[in-house]
Structure 1
Amino acid sequence: MGVEMGLWRADGDMLTRITATVIGLEAQLESYIESDPSMLGEMLLIVGRQVTTAHGGYIDLLAIDETAAVHVIELKRDKTPRDVTAQTLDYGSWVATLGRAEIIGIFASYRPGVALEEAFEEQFGGTLPDMINANQVFTIVAASVDTATERIVRFLNEDFGIPINVVFFRHFHDNGAAYLARTWLVEHDAQSVATPSTTGKTKTREPWNGQDWYVSFGESPAGRHWADGMKYGFVSGGGDKWFSRTLKNLTAGSRVFVCIPKTGYVGVGTVLDEAKRFDESTVLHNGSATALNALPLEGTYRHEGDEDDDNAEWAVPVEWTHAIPREQGFWKPGMFANQNIAAKLRNQFTIDQVSEAFGLDD
């Protein structure tokens, strides 16, 4: 049975039904959704309009949500029941093959001069995930559909868990005012999203270059001071195993991009040696190896170690390629940040932005 949407005007004890019209609606819906994709029921970032597929088709709208799942949005227009569903799935089969670079490229064509990382942070208030397009969601936009389309969509969604749905919009006019009403064929909150496959992870995750690391230099008034790290060449972390364990992943020759949380990137340099307890660490100072705890440091770095050294402060010596005071910390929306002290830096946008700001050759 077709989905019916009604609207009534209440005048005292009297109800007057307002008749819906579809005249011109489907031609306008694409622009409506592009200007405010939240009308589809969740926050989305449009990344492309009339996107050309490898098979000669044109996807009406392509978007990503806060998990970086890709949404294929197709308007029914004058398509037949079989065509609208088959075409949406056909487009989805092509979208599923796209990697991170392809999605970024589509967005670059759609909004020249704006990086996807920046747009994502502006829209969702967070960093673009490493994994893009791990899953896909299919939405058919229509003023109405026939029972055959309803039957097919329900079958795919409810029996096979394919996240495909139909969102209906109806246009109402009453006394000079225009209204747009929305409803879903399948209860929207019940839609399932497929778990990303192993092969999907490989193609959608930004590759690591094997060299670059993100390092968080968490300052504290009575503990760690970036002025020390910048002057004497080191990064450090400690107070708990969770903080020091990732620091121990750094090896000699690795390149580190150092960020002070909520301040910005302050240094890029090369790791000289593996992590050691702070009281056993040495740095290259005035051309010779010098014990860290023998230097006139501003910070205290006094985390006492237990028998496993889990709570101790750990340090890694670094030769700075470029380092700046915390007051000059560099940050742009969309750049990478992480709760770990050290993490593989896969975010090429961050590498490019910091390298340009610091005048690095590569």
Structure 2
Amino acid sequence: MAIEHGMWRIGSAPFKLQPVRIENESLLEELITKDISILNDGWLLIGRQVRTGFDKFIDLLAVDADGSLIIIELKRHRTPRDVVAQAIDYASWIEGLTDSKVIEIYESFRTQHGAGELSLDQAFEKRFGLRLGDVELNSSHQIVVVAAELDASTERIINYLNDKAVPVNAVFFKVFEDEGRQYLSRAWMIDPGQTQERAAVASAKEPWNSEYYVSFGDSERRNWEDARQWGFISAGGGRWYSNTLGMLNEGDRIWVNIPKTGYVGVGIVTGPVVRADEFLVPVDGTEKPLPEASTRAKYRSKPENESEDTAEYVVPVQWTHTVPAGKAYAETGLFGNQNSVCKPRTEKWGHTIERLKKAWSVG
């Protein structure tokens, strides 16, 4: 279904802003290079105008917390269908890249485009809180087409490929002008979380074992001791962080990891995801919303004049076994991921659970 952008200025009466043409799509590429969150705040940009083995150039190349590589192609003056075909051709080359080649691409990007002094290992850990060696780099890949619009035929092609577990997506940008100021608007054709999930499924080396991984970002926004005391996990600060909590259902078993610290708990989900101010905890014989309790962290309810996306979201859990962060279980070779919740399909996940079961005497 075609996606139409619209933007209105709010006043005594709504005033519709007029879209303006991006005369040079290199400007859009430059904006994305400066801030990849324009596309997705869960990505790290690692390449620009990457020369392939058949002497063509990938516009932009990124990596996510899973180690999945994302091919980003701008439409420019090509037909949308040509862009999709070209991106699939690039994916056939990306699939065969070794870790050393990916590092070489990043080093070229870093030196040519002023991406800082950090190595790929350092940049990955700074961005995702995980060591690059803890993920399988280039175990999967995604394709993203950037365009102002797509024709119906191209939309059908993208939907067909997704139905066949080929992770292709499209993102639409428009520029609106209001009294000399310009605003960039973005809309995805498919939820990018779904594309990420398809990439993981397509690259799976073994079936999912029905055990969920949880990344708990222990910080001023949430505290592991609070979670242990009142029985919950939480995430927030943006849709990319909180949306995956919706994957969990009552009865699911979760294994909780604090990035850069280690595994700290296993438990059973007891209810659906709710906003933090809708999660009640017992305090002196009564029940209070989590943000009103004497917690160690500050849990954001829906901030005034902000989107609900920025709030903290909570999933109730009955803990089977937990340990303080200072006694977290960590060793080389355990599974790690920055997604708040995911369904790992790697041998490393099975190995991780077996090690935790033995360490914590959990069946």
Using structure 2 for the length normalisation, give the TM-score. 0.53
Q: How many pairs does the alignment contain?
A: 206
Match status 1:48 vs 2:47: yes
The whole-number CA distance in structure 1 between the counterparts of 2:10 and 2:146 is 29
The whole-number CA distance in structure 1 between the counterparts of 2:74 and 2:193 is 21
Determine if contact 2:75/2:83 at 8 Å carries over to the other structure.
Answer: yes
CA RMSD of aligned residues (A): 2.4
Identify the match of residue 176 of structure 2 among 172, 191, 203. Answer: 172
The whole-number CA distance in structure 2 between the counterparts of 1:343 and 1:162 is 29
Q: Deviations over 1:53-72 (max 9, x none)?
A: 00111000011111111010
Q: CA deviation at 1:123?
A: 1.5
Q: CA deviation at 1:172?
A: 0.4
Cross-structure match for 2:6? 6
The whole-number CA distance in structure 2 between the counterparts of 1:56 and 1:143 is 27
The within-5 A match list for 1:204-223 is none
Q: CA deviation at 1:197?
A: 5.3
Letter in 1 for 2:141: Q
Cross-structure match for 2:330? 339
Letter in 2 for 1:7: M
Cross-structure match for 1:38? 37
Q: CA deviation at 1:130?
A: 4.4
The whole-number CA distance in structure 2 between the counterparts of 1:130 and 1:148 is 36
Match status 1:154 vs 2:145: no
Determine if contact 1:167/1:184 at 8 Å carries over to the other structure.
Answer: yes
SS in 2 for 1:111: helix
Cross-structure match for 2:234? none
The whole-number CA distance in structure 2 between the counterparts of 1:343 and 1:186 is 34
Q: CA deviation at 1:184?
A: 0.9
Letter in 2 for 1:142: A
Q: CA deviation at 1:178?
A: 1.1
Match status 1:193 vs 2:195: no
* Identity fraction in percent: 38
The within-5 A match list for 1:292-303 is none
Cross-structure match for 2:339? none
Q: CA deviation at 1:39?
A: 1.5
The whole-number CA distance in structure 1 between the counterparts of 2:333 and 2:62 is 28
Q: Deviations over 1:234-271 (max 9, x none)?
A: xxxxxxxxxxxxxxxxxxxxxxxxxxx98xxxxxxxxx
Letter in 1 for 2:164: F
Cross-structure match for 2:69? 70
For structure 1, which runs of at least 5 residues remain unmatched after alignment?
Answer: 200-260, 263-337, 345-362
The whole-number CA distance in structure 2 between the counterparts of 1:107 and 1:164 is 23
SS in 1 for 2:87: helix
Q: Which structure: larger Rg?
A: 1
The whole-number CA distance in structure 2 between the counterparts of 1:80 and 1:186 is 20
Letter in 2 for 1:20: P
Letter in 2 for 1:151: R
Q: Deviations over 1:199-222 (max 9, x none)?
A: 9xxxxxxxxxxxxxxxxxxxxxxx
Moved more, 45-54 or 117-126: 117-126
Determine if contact 1:25/1:171 at 8 Å carries over to the other structure.
Answer: no
The whole-number CA distance in structure 2 between the counterparts of 1:80 and 1:343 is 45
Q: CA deviation at 1:26?
A: 2.2
Q: CA deviation at 1:136?
A: 0.2
Moved more, 185-194 or 31-40: 185-194
Match status 1:143 vs 2:148: yes
Q: CA deviation at 1:20?
A: 0.8
The within-5 A match list for 1:282-361 is 339-340=330-331
The whole-number CA distance in structure 2 between the counterparts of 1:88 and 1:76 is 10
Letter in 2 for 1:100: D
Change (3 A) 1:343 1:43: closer
For structure 2, which runs of at least 5 residues remain unmatched after alignment?
Answer: 112-116, 207-259, 262-328, 335-363
The whole-number CA distance in structure 2 between the counterparts of 1:105 and 1:187 is 31
Change (3 A) 1:20 1:343: closer
